[in-house]
Structure 1
Amino acid sequence: MQTLKSLQLRVFQRIPTKATKPNLFLFSSLTKSPTQTPNTLFVNYLIQTLNFSKTEAQSISTRFSPIKSLEKPHSVIHYFRSLGLSETEILSSVRLEPRILFSDVDKTLKPKIEFFQELGLVGSHLGKCISNNSKLLSCSLQKSLIPCTQILKNILVDDRNNQDLIRLLTKCSWFIAKPNKSRLLSNIAILESCGIVGSQLSFLLKARHGIFVMEESKLRDLVSRVSDMGLSVNSRMFTYGLCIVSCLSKGTFERKLELFRSFGFTKQEAMEMFQKQPMVFSKSEEQLKLRLDFFLNKIELKKESLIRGPRCLSHSLEERVIPRYRVMQILKSKRLLKEKEPSFVHILTFSEGEFLEKFVAKFGDDVEELLVAYKGHLLDSSFSSFSTDEKKS
């Protein structure tokens, strides 16, 4: 039996001398790589020029090989300042993507910045976009930014001055930084096969852009799940169903169904409301509970009315439902409604202008009281001027 000493001797005999080619595998198995020490020159630059804390500066510096020159970081910071970026925006940009400090300004950064400027990202909008999405500056202009942006532009119908595109770029750089062209095109094809085209595809992109960068298998599973909930791909509600289900776990959806059942609805009735108005299920459980309690217990609306018109559950209690309910109560108490009164559920579908015209403006002697009931002490200035002009005429 070999002794431990003889085994150790055999191992070290196999370690190559200077004259032989080193066995890198053997070295890595016998020794640990030393932790890279912070680059003092770079650390001081981050602290003194960009106001990083010492701890954060040291952490960032260890991601890079030791540098001998600060020429590139200097030129990058100077370029950002020339674009009008504030010191806070520059700090945020570097914090998100430290690699940009070592970019070539003329060859790498300027072409990308000019591309964004041509889209309409200028002034403060450009600074905000870069500070929140500096990873975009590390993407390939030709292979990622240009093709992916063009795909998005083709989806966003009626996008005046690229405002929707700019909003998308400003909010989520990873959306373009992460996917490739084939991923986007593949997912768009799946959505279009479900009848989601034109304005509906545009809506989905603005509301749930994450759907467009899902793995294809996950997107197909999502489509199947929504279809299994009773929403037909031929229905315009399928888009909204996809939008809601994509951000709800099965457990959360089941809890919301249980909430409806606690107010006397069957599962089938709750699913019928979902099929008619999926966006209702975007509300939190607490919000849904307050709405159901108000309609069913406070104003004693029949359950069948909610099943027929579930959209009323998506309206804000404070901003729309309760103010309109107060106005209608005053009109009823004063017997000012001579014509047949529409259902309260239907009244909630009116725009604010339509509601004010039909149930406030026409009752001149009671306008002030109705407005107070509708808006409290915050009278609508535009309506106030309208009612004054009406009295003059």
Structure 2
Amino acid sequence: MLRLRSCVLAHLLSSPTTSHGSTFRRLLSATTAAPAVSPPTGFAVEEYLVDTCGLTRAQALKASAKLSHLKSPSKPDAVLAFLADLGLSTTDVATVVARDPKFLCAGVERTLSPIIEGLAGLGLSRSEITRLVPLAANDHFRSKPVVSKVHYYLRLLGSFEEFLRALKCNQHLLSHNLERVVKRNVGLLQECTLGACDIGKLAISMPRMLTANVEQIRAMVASAQALGVPRGSGMCRLALRSVAFVSEEKIAAKMEYLKKTFRWSDAEVGIAVSKGPFVLMSSKDMLHRRSEFLISEVGLEPAYIARHPSLLSYSLEGRLRPRYYVMKFLKENRLLKSDTSYYAFVSATKMVFLKKFICPYKEAAPHLVEDYAAACKGEVPTRFRFT
């Protein structure tokens, strides 16, 4: 055990991220030099957490309450050696211990090694496991079912990076029961005829859905269906995200705001929301500014906007306004058919827009390219100023 303790301390000493080098050197010296006097009795847990594990004094005070049963550093030393060999930095080790002090009491051969071997068996690299451990450290990570949970999330979310992203937002993913909670919620989402890919994308953007109360998920599904979005449509996933964990009162209030801001009737707001449920997530300020521009400046009818709610998803300064300038310039100079719709201008991809509405007019309007580029940066060239 003395050899083991020396190994971990030597490893931590050699780490460039070690911030407690002098303390480690004293401890290493104490383990290798012949004692002149008998060692003190007892085990100072709090000091060990600060000096050897890198915790702050406040963290150590809190963590030591869970380790009061420890009588010697033998088991913690073995765990620290294991983590060091795995490649965790001193900062990562401190994170693990602060989050789960009892991690220091885990059996290396009986518990930790089989778990790490299981994660490697899923195809995770050593570096990926090293990134996962500090983030996932809790009492559930120290149980063997964690491997099957990670396996399930990797398949559901599509990759290790997406799983890590979701775990950062919801650290309860590994603590909730897979069968009784997570798979049950996934089943409820499937009732909206969402495929595995859509559910995975939904879970990545809002991982709380996977561990939420069953009544919350049912209410979310009911609210999404009440928007009039067809089950199984491409908008279904967006509708679920738009109403997730939002009360019926808040949804109703947002609908009223949309009606007032865009001068929509009940029928028109229903059409807009069913085609573009994202408007329920848009800020009031953003909606107000787009309403002012599209209705007051461009002159679009409220019913037209309701039928094309995607207009509200585009950048006002980077897309809606510059392309309106181009359309108006071309029409006023009789270079464009008068019946070409504003929606056709805005919805076109950048390449299609340039090919269809800029390049054909290089000779008739040689400055159009640079004027449009300037407008996209927020400038309004003189040629785009209409009186």
Normalising by the residue count of structure 1, what TM-score does the alignment of the two structures yield? Answer: 0.73
The answer (yes or no) to whether the contact 2:227–2:270 under 8 Å persists in 1 is yes
- 1-side partners of 2:255 and 2:190: how far apart? 30
**Distance in 2 of aligned mates of 1:104 and 1:361:** 70
| Matched position secondary structure for 1:177 | coil
Does the 8 Å CA contact 2:99/2:138 hold for their aligned counterparts? yes
- Residues 100 and 137 in structure 1, CA contact (< 8 A), matched pair in contact too: no
Distance 2:300 2:111 in 1: 63
Q: Within 5 A, what are the aligned runs for 1:223-234?
A: 223-234=221-232
* Partner residue, 2:82: 79
Distance 1:46 1:361, change over 3 A: farther
Identify the residue that residue 54 of structure 2 maps to in structure 1: 51
Q: Residues 173 and 111 (structure 1 numbering): CA distance in 2 closer, same or farther, change over 3 Å?
A: farther
Q: Hey, what does 1:277 align to over in structure 2?
A: 276
Q: Which amino acid aligns with 1:322?
A: R
Aligned mates of 1:204, 1:375 — CA distance in 2: 33
Shift of 1:69: 1.4
Distance in 2 (CA, whole Å) between partners of 1:184 and 1:177 is: 10
Which of 38, 59, 63 is 1:60 aligned to? 63
Question: Percent of counterpart pairs with the same letter?
Answer: 25
Partner of 2:92: 89
- Gap change, CA 1:51 and 1:310, over 3 Å in 2: same
How many residues of Structure 1 are paired with residues of Structure 2 in the alignment? Answer: 333
Secondary structure in 1 matching 2:71:
coil
**316-325 vs 195-204, greater mean Cα deviation:** 316-325
Aligned to 1:152: 153
Q: Deviations over 1:346-382 (max 9, x none)?
A: 33322333333333455543333322222469xxxxx
Q: Which residue of 2 aligns with 1:217?
A: 215
Counterpart in the other structure of 1:297: 296
SS of the counterpart of 1:91?
A: helix
1:372 aligns with 2:374: yes
What is the aligned counterpart of 1:132 among 132, 135, 147?
135
Question: What does residue 317 of structure 1 align with?
Answer: 316
Question: Which residue of structure 1 lines up, in the alignment, with residue 171 of structure 2?
Answer: 173
Match of 2:193 in 1: 195
Distance across 2 between alignment mates of 1:319 and 1:153: 37
The whole-number CA distance in structure 2 between the counterparts of 1:75 and 1:64 is: 15
Displacement after TM superposition at 1:306 (Å): 0.9
1:182-211 Cα offsets, whole Å, 9 max, x none, are 333333333323312243233322233322
Within the alignment, does 1:103 sit opposite 2:106 as a pair? yes
Preserved CA contact (<8 Å) 1:305 1:345: no
- Following TM superposition, by how much is the alpha carbon of 1:345 offset from its aligned partner in structure 2, in angstroms? 2.5
Q: Are 1:135 and 1:173, in contact at CA under 8 Å, matched by a contact in 2?
A: no
CA-CA distance at 1:310 after TM superposition: 0.6
Contact 1:133 1:172 in 2 (8 A): no
Which amino acid is the alignment partner of residue 93 of structure 2?
I
Relative contact order, higher structure (CA 8 A, sep 6+): 2
- Structure 1 distance, partners of 2:169, 2:129, is 12
Quote the Cα distance in structure 2 between the aligned partners of 1:287 and 1:72: 57
**Partner of residue 384, structure 1:** none
CA shift digits 1:101-147 (9 cap, x unpaired): 22222332233334444545546654443333322763532x3431x
| Residue segments in structure 2 that go unaligned for 5+ positions in a row | 1-41, 380-387
Q: Structure 1's 101 and 319: CA in aligned 2 closer, same or farther, altered over 3 A?
A: farther
Post-superposition CA distance 1:300-343 (Å, at most 9, x none): 322111110111212232443334334445545655x4456642
Residue by residue, what CA displacement relative to the aligned partner does 1:212-231 show, whole Å, maximum 9, x if unpaired?
32333332233223323333
What amino acid does structure 2 have at the position aligned with 1:205? A
**Separation in 2, partners of 1:119, 1:215:** 29
| TM-score between the two structures when normalised by the length of structure 2 | 0.74
How large is the RMSD of aligned CA atoms in angstroms?
3.0
Aligned residues of 1:136 and 1:176 also touching (Cα < 8 A): no
Could you say what secondary structure the match of 2:323 adopts? helix
User: Is contact 2:294–2:300 with CA below 8 Å preserved after alignment?
Assistant: yes
* Aligned residue identity for 2:59: E
Paired letter, 1:108: T
SS at match of 1:94: helix
